[in-house]
Structure 1
Amino acid sequence: MTLPTLTTVEALDPAFAEMAAVSFRQAGTGTELTPRERILLLLVADVCEQVLGMPFELHVRAALDNGLDADDLRELLRFISYDSGYPAALAALERLAEVEREHGLPGPTGQSHRLNADGTGSPLPAAMRAEVRALDPGFADYMDLQSRLRADMSRISVRERAFATMTVDVLYQTLQESFRAHVGRALGTGATPGEVRAAVRATATFGMTRTWRAMNVLDALLADQEEQEGKRTTPGA
């Protein structure tokens, strides 16, 4: 396997290589996220930013080193395609196949999740579905379809999926309805506020100012969550 390494970056510019290395090292500190979770979020960021050259190859290598396989990576791309956009995910899928061919990496086994394209209903929360349907019924039908298409996924955990969609929100700066829903989903899996903060902080190497804005929004969301929890546990509230 001859995937690019830090040495490859040093050959381009030693000072940049050092800056990038210490920045990614700093972003990767802490125990709130697992190495697998961190690399998944880096790959999501690559898709959103369409950074599919050397950084994507480095992250594919890191994913394989952390136990992810070709089928896992494809499920990740299928999962985020509704938020990142199908064209962005397709470009990453094409590049992933190229990386596998170029470097002799194991390809997919063909295992996939079960689709439910022709079904009805949706696993989305009823209140969310009603809110979207009130905005536009056609868009609500599309959202229902997207949720059904992903209902049977299992290679990427629910917690990992929540963090992945939060990453899309930060990079696309969709920090209203969807970010609130995805943060709520992460907390619903048992993730702590500190772990949720770490997932947002992990986006900093893809653009610090966007992470800063997202941190401000997240702080308000967590404060509201804490207030609501306090009201539920206070007698007579």
Structure 2
Amino acid sequence: MTTTVTPASLDRLAALDPAFAQLVGASARFLRAVPELTDREKTFLAVTADVCQGSLGLAFTAHVRAGIAAGVSTSDLRELLRFVSYDCGYHAASAGVERIAELETELGIPRPEVDLLADELVSTGPDAAPSPLPDAVRARLGELDPHFAEYFDLQSRMRTGHGPGTLTERERGLVSLSVDVHYQTLAETFRIHVGRARRGGATPEDVRAAVRFLAQFGVTRAWCAWEALNAMG
């Protein structure tokens, strides 16, 4: 199993501060050993944490390199960033896309070809595809603000084209609930995203494993997430 940080990145940290490198290495090894999650899922969770927290330097590079070593392609990571962009914000995700492109150049990885979305998926007019949002969620959003509900329809519509090789329902749920942990949005959206992970086949213990893994990205945030998750029963 790969570690969250590569030996090369730990060496670079040790050159800056050897005691700090010890802290990072021990923490990463402990949490990377969580058995319920795949290496692919751990990579997705780590890269999402980097983007949410604006950490696109040494840690981001280490997480991407570890993912590549575990068989996660930069095409997979680009799909991840497209998916999380509406939750973490397009401004944050665009910085991640830019860094991925730089790493592809640095590592000699060809930039993957991308199929554009169909017009009906990016439209908000009468030719738009139906919203994939559950009726209950759409009703709740409409109560908040009709324009916001239409924006949410658009975001959900643009993310319906997941084909083979892209994020699974389980992966999307785990990634989405992790965004909630980073931003501490631990009420209604957190419950929805936990439910998405469960619909995708994640067990309660798998969800708990994701929160365990996220402790390395802020232990007080993880503490609050445990309070919310345990209250859900």
State whether TM-score is above 0.5: yes
In the other structure, the counterpart of 1:117 is 122
Q: Deviations over 1:139-179 (max 9, x none)?
A: 00000000000001231111111100111000000111110
CA distance in 2 between partners of 1:112 and 1:59 (Å): 27
Shift of the alpha carbon at 1:105? 2.6
Check conservation: 1:33, 1:198, Cα contact below 8 A: yes
The secondary structure found in structure 2 opposite 1:174 is coil
Contact 1:167–1:203 (Cα < 8 Å) also in 2: yes
Report the counterpart of residue 218 of structure 2 in structure 1: 207
Q: Which runs of 5+ in 1 are unaligned?
A: 224-237
Cα distance in 2, alignment partners of residues 77 and 4 from structure 1: 25
| In 1, Cα distance between equivalents of 2:27 and 2:183 | 22
Match for residue 197 of structure 2? 186
Give the counterpart of 1:16 among 9, 15, 20. Answer: 20
Task: Tell me the TM-score normalised to structure 1 length.
Answer: 0.89
Q: Identity, % of aligned pairs?
A: 50
Distance 1:91 1:219, change over 3 A: same
1:197, distance to aligned residue in structure 2 (A): 0.6
- Is structure 2 residue 90 aligned with structure 1 residue 86? yes
Paired position in structure 1 for 2:3:
none
Change (3 A) 1:186 1:92: same
- In the superposition, relative to structure 1, how do residues 139 and 3 fare at CA in structure 2: closer, same or farther (>3 Å)? farther
Q: Which residue of 1 aligns with 2:141?
A: 132
Aligned residues, how many? 221
Quick check: 2:46–2:63 contact (8 Å CA) kept in 1? yes
Letter of the 2:178 partner, please give it: T
Shift of 1:35: 1.0
Give the Cα separation in 2 of the matches to 1:75 and 1:141. 23
Cα contact 1:114–1:153 (8 A) shared by 2: no
Where structure 2 has 5 or more consecutive residues not aligned to the other structure, the ranges are: 1-5
Tell whether the 8 Å contact from 2:184 to 2:221 is kept in structure 1 after alignment.
Answer: yes
Distance in 1, Cα, partners of 2:66 & 2:207: 22
Aligned position for 2:177: 166
Query: How many Å separate the matches in 2 of 1:30 and 1:67?
Result: 18
Structure 1 runs, 4 residues or longer, greater than 4 Å off: 111-115
Q: 2-side partners of 1:4 and 1:97: how far apart? A: 21
Asked if structure 2 preserves the Cα contact closer than 8 Å seen for 1:63 and 1:69, the reply is yes
Could you state the TM-score of these two structures normalised by the residue count of structure 2? 0.90
Structure 1 pair 3–152 and aligned structure 2 pair: CA distance change class (3 A): farther
1:108 paired with 2:112, answer yes
The one-letter code sitting in structure 2 at the alignment partner of 1:78 is R
User: Contact 2:34–2:213 at 8 Å: present in 1 too?
Assistant: no
SS at match of 1:27: helix
Structure 2 counterpart of 1:89, one-letter code:
A
Name which one, 1 or 2, has greater alpha-carbon Rg.
1
